[in-house]
Amino acid sequence: MSRTLQAPVTVAFDYTRSTGPVIGRFFSGLRDGVVVGGRTSSGEVVVPPLEFDPGTHEATTDFVEVSSVGTVTSWTWVPQPVKAQPFDHPFAFALVTLDGATAPLLHALDVASPEDVTTGMRVRIRWAEERTGAITDIACFEPLAPGEAETPNEVAASAHDEAVTGVVVPVSLDYNYAASPEESLFYRGLNEGRIMGQRCPTCQKVYIPPRSACPADGTPTAEEVELSQTGTVTTFCIVNVPFLGQKITPPYVSAYVLLDGADIAVLHLILGVPAEEVRMGMRVKAVWKPKDEWTFSLENIDHFAPTGDPDADFDTYKHHL
């Protein structure tokens, strides 16, 4: 058995960004099949245009249309593309100085092998079939065929009047997520129907879930403690507001439950009782899902339900609020 529990996790979210007048102008051009550069105070023509001039720090207002044909000024081979790169087969990234520009643009170059690339080679833009106003409207660069006229390729005119004002950049990252050894103890316990904590050897506090170090004094937690399945509601809230991803129909109660023997409460649901009857000090016990549904998750405990016992004295949990 490996020391820690591990599982794949994907973190994904879309950034919605406003483009402003400079990048918006560049993206509007790409959507219409035109590459727009920006002229700097020193006479450079930079693609994509810089939002502010590097010399004067003034906003860029001098835009220049440049060619969709250019020259490779540097390149590197990508033998093992990563997810979301322009190609999933090996390709080159290249810096290409388009005719009419003085600074290069970074983009992919679609060639079969490194033998097919040289610094100084002539390339042209291959436009994406559908263009939306984003850097990916340029599908890639491709070599000019021998003898091919070095004229920009014809692009179907776009019917847009509106300038591009925003762009959505999707981000999705894959991880192999490892729990700490202490968290692994906790999740393995849950998979066996047990609730495990650990005791700090310095201050004797029992943490659940166990953590790698006591947050109070920094000592590594050591001794494993199996906790009671019964505890006390220390505080709670009644959820009345619907939200995305909600699994239970409101109103319902989310509460801190201080398990007997623990020094920190766990957050869980209180069900099996009308929401308005839940109170501080109420004694509750864990209600587990059927055993064949157990995984390495706190969701193995479906909810906590009242035991029917008399409420706990405030003094028994006042230091754990």
Positions touching other proteins (CB under 8 A) are 2-4, 6, 9, 11, 15, 17, 19, 23, 26-27, 46-48, 50, 54, 73-79, 82-86, 93-95, 103-108, 114, 119, 134-136, 167, 169, 171, 173-183, 211-220
Question: Which one, 180 or 230, has the nearer CB to other proteins?
Answer: 180
Distance from C-alpha of 256 to C-alpha of 233, rounded to nearest angstrom = 6
Minimum Å distance from CB 92 to other proteins? 8
Question: Which one, 209 or 306, has the nearer CB to other proteins?
Answer: 209
Distances (CA, A) of 16 to 51, 91, 138, 166, 170: 19, 29, 20, 7, 8
Minimum Å distance from CB 281 to other proteins? 26
Question: Which one, 82 or 159, has the nearer CB to other proteins?
Answer: 82
How is the beta sheet containing 63-66 ordered, strand by strand? 45-46, 35-39, 63-66
Distance from C-alpha of 296 to C-alpha of 192, rounded to nearest angstrom = 9
Minimum Å distance from CB 270 to other proteins? 27
What's the token pair of residue 63? 């835009």
Question: Which one, 68 or 232, has the nearer CB to other proteins?
Answer: 68
Distance from C-alpha of 291 to C-alpha of 189, rounded to nearest angstrom = 13
3-state secondary structure of 172: strand
Minimum Å distance from CB 279 to other proteins? 30
Question: Which one, 169 or 248, has the nearer CB to other proteins?
Answer: 169
User: What one-character-per-residue DSSP string does 220-251 give?
Assistant: BP-EEEEPPSEEEEEEEEEE----TT--SPSS
* Contact of 144 with 123, CB cutoff 8 Å: yes
Minimum Å distance from CB 251 to other proteins? 28
